[in-house]
Amino acid sequence: MPEDALVVPEIGGGLGPIPLVLDAVVVPPAKGLGNQSVQRSGVLRPDGGLVPESVTWRGTSRVTIQPRMPEEAEELGGTWLFLGPLFGHFGHFLVESISRIWAWGVLEGLVDGVLFVPKFQNRPRETLETYRPFLEALGVRARMVNVEEPTVVERLFVPPQGFGMFQMIEGSPEFRDFVRARAGKGVAPDGPPRIYVSRSQLPVQRGSILGEAVLEERLRAEGYEPFHPQKHSFEAQIAAYRAARDVIAVDCSPLHLLALVGDAGQRVGVIARRDGDLDQVFARQIRAFQGAEAHAVNHLQRNWIEEAANRPSRTSWGEVDFSALGRSLRRAGLVEHGDWAPLPEAEVLAQMERVGAAQGVRFKPYEGPKGTAPGDGD
């Protein structure tokens, strides 16, 4: 199919058949290019035509575009399942790298293993080993290969993408069914009934909301335990999310995992930390996947961005109206009191000075239009 004939997939009503391509040419991104947002990578037919199901979409944009037919290629015998680009970033892995995993439920026992291509050629084997335990928790116990060189595969199933960011965040029926049947089912719930998924112990370069320590203190008074996902194994994270009945978090990648392994009995509050409506995106995913009660809570007053930046991103800092936040969480039944004092302006400025000094950069309030979705969720 010509690239200009590609259209954004509509997955809400279900997916089409899974094409089987004989002598499929799997092309990873070229080495030495770095982490580009869009890369030439995917699956070609022997005649050089693009297999459209191999394209990975993010919203209305493509993450992968048609690669050139390689002059030389390695060979891989057997029957394999193509899963697309393997991201090192946790959030993108949970949304885009597993977007075709639903097909494992159809083809398990019929294929020799699964294939990824690196999102970019930086430690591809280490990235695969990092996420192998999570894939095994989804029942994928088979050979896994992250294709580093162009490779002709004898028989390759290339399923359409069943999940993704923005308009695809609610997933296809096939993807949701797969997740509900498998995700986290082998892990026993273990953890407190109320957790706050915290960013307070991440490097300052990762961004958050200003006054997060104050928020943690106020939530502790409501019975919440701060939870730092980066300090726990995948299994421990899944156990904590399965045990919790009330969860509060700023918009961040761990909420994708919560959506995969949670249940309908949970209440979730998603606090916006940057413009872009990602709080609503996370809440939509949680409702769609598990039927849980999810509240998007946006009381941003200002976004603080690096002086050289032109929009909020995963590195920016959100200034939140704590008084309005407390009231919204109380209305949602997530806190009992919620009569919270605002963060003093002097503390806002002092914290931004500390953040800037720690990073060696200056920050400024963002003055642009609201609602522009960041391209790099975290």
State residue 96's pLDDT score.
95
**Over the chain (378 residues), what is each successive 10-residue block's mean pLDDT?**
78 94 96 81 97 94 94 97 95 95 96 94 88 90 95 98 95 96 93 97 93 97 97 95 98 96 97 94 96 97 93 92 98 96 94 93 87 51
Contacts of 129 (CB under 8 A, 6+ apart): none
CB of 195 closer than 8 Å to CB of 224: yes
Alpha-carbon distance 348 to 304, whole Å? 10
Instruction: Answer yes or no: are the C-beta atoms of 211 and 232 closer than 8 Å.
Output: no
Report d(CA 202, CA 204) in Å as an integer.
6
17, burial (CB in 10 Å: exposed 0-12, middle 13-18, buried 19+): exposed
Helix (H) or strand (E) segment spanning residue 214: helix 212-220
- Which SS3 state, helix, strand or coil, does residue 195 take? strand
Sheet holding 74-86, edge to edge: 42-44, 20-27, 151-157, 74-86, 113-118, 143-146
Q: How far is CA 25 from CA 66, 206, 335, in A?
A: 12, 37, 54
Return the half-sphere exposure (C-beta side, CA atoms, 13 A cut-off) of residue 167: 11
Structure tokens at 195: 């957790």
Rounded CA-CA distance 171/193 in Å is: 28
Domains identified in the chain and CATH numbers: 3-182 (no CATH), 194-365 (3.40.50)
CA 218/CA 206 separation, integer angstroms:
23
pLDDT on residue 83: 98
Task: Characterize 135-167 residue by residue with b for buried, 16 or more Cβ atoms within 10 angstroms of its Cβ, and e for exposed.
Answer: bebbbbebebbbbeebbbbebbbbbbbbbbbbb
What's the CA gap between 104 and 139, in Å, rounded? 9
Closest CA to 281 of 167, 368, 201, 172: 167
CA atoms within 13 A on the CB side of 195: 23
What does the alpha-carbon distance between residue 146 and residue 161 come to, in Å, rounded to a whole number? 18
At how many degrees (to 10) do helices 234-243 and 254-261 cross?
60
In the sheet that 293-297 helps form, which strands lie side by side, from edge to edge?
225-227, 194-197, 246-250, 267-271, 293-297
Q: Is 221 helix (H, G, I), strand (E, B) or coil?
A: coil
Whole-structure pTM value: 0.93
Whole-angstrom distance, CA of residue 298 vs CA of residue 279: 7
Nearest to 111, CA basis, from 45, 177, 157, 51? 157
174 Cβ contact partners less than 8 Å away, ≥ 6 residues apart: 14, 15, 102, 105, 162
